[in-house]
């Protein structure tokens, strides 16, 4: 659920501060022999320090780190505030100005404000999200081609035992199943709302709160602590453990392209066009395949988020 998907990848992000350009050169001596103080160049003035946040799962942290490193490489000073929690916890932090930028899944992001406008078209979701955020003075930058939607999965033995292939099949067996759901499911229309639409009596009798796109969710499902898990569709564990992803037969889950959300008061401090181009160029390289590949590096190969982000940017010629 792009809702916190979090892997609570409590991964340590390595801060990689790129060297900024030198200060302005002194002006020639005046007639009185005094020298004017160095002046700040326009380039320096347009690179205000930025606070970047993320939700508390690995993919959100990873994409935030990609944006952070792109900006640092261009001379920005970045303060990382990753792992802020679920969308319900992160949004007030951004509204209060405690972070300037965060990666968002445009479908779930839109669903937080208006579930009725969610579509399977990423750009339509982004446009509607922009409308919802205009009064908050937040800008949605260009969406990435990569999408990672919400997915419910079970083990093969569970699928066989209860003849589960699609979400609608769950209702008849819901009380016999142990559910792993995100901590914000109660208030998330794409979680509780979708389950109710599928005939699930919410909340289920047996449920465990876990990060939707986190390693502990996969571990719990594989270890039979739970029988149904909510994942992100690019989550490496699905292929790793051969989990059965249940078909969203009512098409309730949205297109989940990623896009940076940026506060307008921050954009007013910088060269807006140059700043947006840096992030848009990075987003353009974030495909679904790239998200999945990087997810394997983080969640399966146990590489640091910062290391994976740097390798990606280097391979794409952005570093």
Residue 107 is assigned to a structural domain of this protein? yes
**Rounded mean pLDDT of 262-276?**
98
Residue 14 lies in a domain: no
| This prediction's pTM | 0.72
Mean pLDDT of 208-228: 92
**Domain identity same for 225 and 91:** no
Q: Assess whether 282 and 135 both reside in one domain.
A: yes
Phi and psi angles of residue 105, each rounded to the nearest 5 degrees, phi first: -90, 115
The answer as to whether 7 is a domain residue is no
pLDDT for residue 20? 34
- 159 and 224 together in one domain: yes
Is 53 in the same domain as 127? yes
The confidence score (pLDDT) of residue 299 equals 84
Q: What is the CATH number of the domain that holds 228?
A: 3.40.190.120
Quick one: pLDDT band at residue 174, thresholds 50, 70, 90?
Answer: very high
Give the residue with greater pLDDT, 43 vs 49.
49
Is residue 184, in this structure, part of any structural domain at all?
Answer: yes
DSSP codes of every residue in the chain: --SS------PPPPP-PPPPPPPPPPPPP-TTS--PPP---HHHHT---EEEE--SSHHHHHHHHHHHHHHHHTT--EEEE----SHHHHHHHHHTTS-SEEEEEHHHHHHHH-GGG--S-HHHHHHHHHHHHGGGTEEE-PPPS-B--EEEEE-HHHHHHHT--BGGGGGGGGGGS-EEE-TTGGG-IIIIIHHHHTT--SSPSSEEE--TTSHHHHHHHHTTS-SEEEEETT-HHHHHTT-EEPB-TT--SPP-BEEEEEEHHHHTTS-HHHHHHHHHHHHTT--HHHHHHHHIIIIIS---HHHHHHHHHHHTT--
Q: From CA 73, how far away is CA 71, in angstroms rounded? A: 5
The reply to whether 204 and 263 lie within a common domain is no
- Domain assignment present for 36: no
Q: What is the pLDDT of residue 120?
A: 87
Any domain includes 21:
no
C-alpha to C-alpha distance for 174 and 274, rounded to whole angstroms: 52
Among candidate residues 204, 227, 245, the one where a domain is terminated? 245
CA proximity to 4, closest of 212, 295, 221, 292? 212
Is residue 196 domain-shared with residue 241, that is, in the same domain? yes
**In whole angstroms, what is the distance from residue 243 CA to residue 148 CA?**
17
Angle, vertex CA 284, rays to CA 53 and CA 153, nearest 5: 70
- Paired tokens of 275: 């700043």
Quick count: other Cβ atoms within 10 Å of Cβ 136?
14
Backbone dihedral angles phi then psi of residue 114, each to the nearest 5 degrees? -160, 95
Residue 259 CB partners (closer than 8 Å, separation 6+) = 103, 104, 106, 126, 140, 141, 142, 143, 144, 283
Look-up: residue for tokens 């009596």? Answer: 201
142-162 pLDDT, tens digit per residue, is 999 999 998 999 999 999 999
Q: Give the pLDDT confidence score for residue 73 in this predicted structure.
A: 98
Residue linked to tokens 């939607």: 149
Maximum distance among all Cα pairs of the chain, rounded to whole angstroms? 92
pLDDT at 300: 87
State what percent of residues in the chain have pLDDT above 70. 86
Range scoring the smallest mean pLDDT among 79-83, 118-122, 279-283: 118-122
The pLDDT, as a whole number, for residue 232 is 86
Domain boundary among 193, 220, 245: 245
Do 204 and 62 fall within a single domain? no
Which residue, 245, 270, 298, sits at the end of a domain? Answer: 245
Is the distance from CB of 105 to CB of 188 less than 8 angstroms? no
Same domain for 232 and 258, yes or no, is: no
266 φ/ψ angles, rounded to the nearest 5 degrees: -75, -45
Q: Are residues 221 and 193 in the same domain?
A: yes
Q: Are residues 192 and 258 in the same domain?
A: no
Q: Are residues 200 and 223 in the same domain?
A: yes
* Counted domains in the chain: 2
CATH number at residue 74: 3.40.190.10
Q: How far is residue 285 from each of residues 70, 194, 233, 234, measured CA to CA in Å?
A: 12, 31, 19, 16
> What pLDDT score does 213 carry?
76
Whether residue 293 sits in one domain with residue 235: no
Q: Residue 45's pLDDT is what? A: 55
- Is the pLDDT reported for residue 26 higher than 80? no
In-domain check, residue 82: yes
pLDDT in tens, 160-171: 999 999 999 999
Q: Name the residue range of residue 194's domain.
A: 150-245
Q: For residues 213 and 238, is the Cβ–Cβ distance under 8 A? A: no
Whether 269 maps to a domain, the answer reads yes
pLDDT above 90 for 134: yes
Question: If pLDDT is split at 50, 70 and 90, which confidence band does 222 have?
Answer: very high
- Rounded to 5 degrees, φ, ψ at 17 are -90, 115
| pLDDT for 122 beyond 90 | yes
């Amino acid at each position: 659920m792009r809702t916190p998907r979090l892997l609570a990848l409590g991964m340590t992000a390595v801060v990689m501060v790129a060297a900024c350009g030198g200060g302005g050169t002194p002006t020639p001596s005046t007639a009185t022999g005094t020298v004017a103080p160095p002046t700040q160049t326009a380039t320096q003035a347009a690179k205000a320090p930025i606070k970047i946040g993320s939700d508390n799962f690995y993919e959100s942290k990873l994409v935030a780190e990609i944006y952070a490193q792109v900006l640092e490489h261009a001379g920005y000073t970045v303060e990382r505030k990753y792992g802020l929690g679920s969308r319900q916890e992160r949004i007030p932090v951004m509204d209060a100005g405690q972070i300037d930028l965060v990666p968002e899944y445009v479908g779930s992001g839109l669903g937080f404000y208006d579930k009725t406008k969610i579509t399977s078209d990423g750009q339509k979701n982004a446009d509607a999200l922009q409308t919802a955020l205009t009064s908050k003075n937040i800008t949605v930058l260009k969406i990435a081609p990569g999408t990672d939607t919400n997915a419910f999965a079970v083990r093969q033995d569970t699928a066989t035992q209860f003849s589960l292939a699609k979400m609608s099949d769950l209702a008849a067996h819901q009380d016999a199943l142990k559910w792993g759901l995100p901590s914000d499911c109660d208030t998330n229309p794409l979680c509780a709302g979708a389950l109710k639409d599928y005939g699930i009596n919410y909340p289920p009798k047996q449920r465990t709160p876990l990060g939707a796109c986190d390693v502990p969710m996969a571990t719990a499902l594989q270890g039979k602590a739970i029988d149904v898990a909510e994942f992100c569709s690019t989550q490496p564990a699905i292929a790793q453990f051969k989990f059965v992803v249940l078909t969203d037969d009512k098409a309730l889950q949205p297109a989940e392209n990623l896009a940076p959300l940026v506060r307008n008061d921050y954009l007013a401090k910088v060269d807006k066009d140059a700043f947006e181009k840096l992030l848009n160029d990075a987003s353009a390289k974030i495909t679904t395949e790239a998200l999945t590949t990087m997810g394997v590096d983080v969640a399966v190969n146990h590489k640091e988020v910062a290391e994976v982000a740097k390798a990606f940017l280097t391979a794409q010629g952005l570093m």
